[in-house]
Amino acid sequence: MSESKYSNVHDVAKFFDISEPTVRLWVKKGLIDRSCYVKADTTYRFDIPAIEKHLRGEVEVTYEQLFAVSDVDEFTGITGIKSLDEDF
């Protein structure tokens, strides 16, 4: 079996010389882009080279990726921002 491209939280922490709680915090705050990991229930697997590119600013981020914009409120005409919080 070939080596997986995805790593666990421990491996990410070790690679970036940070703690595992810091990895989780980076995910929660969006510092690790959603495109850099996969999530199944409470299990996360990370693409370390993608994280590195994202943190170095080598990946273009669209407005839609930065802000999850909801529909415009029909009464006020104000565009809402969806919550990006998820349990971790």
Residue 88: what pLDDT? 43
56 is a domain residue: yes
41 is a domain residue: yes
Whether residue 4 has pLDDT greater than 70 = yes
Q: Which two tokens stand for residue 49?
A: 């080279």
Cβ(24)–Cβ(88) below 8 Å: yes
Cβ(65)–Cβ(71) below 8 Å: no
Contacts 24+ apart (CB under 8 A), 66-71: none
More confident residue, 43 or 57: 43
Q: Which of 21-35, 36-50, 67-81 has the lowest mean pLDDT?
A: 67-81
This model's pTM is above 0.75: no
Integer CA distances (angstroms), 65 to 6, 7, 58, 61, in order: 22, 23, 15, 6
- Supply the range of the domain harboring residue 29: 9-81
* Residue 6 to residue 81: CA distance in whole angstroms: 31
2 is a domain residue: no
23 is a domain residue: yes
Count structural domains, the chain: 1
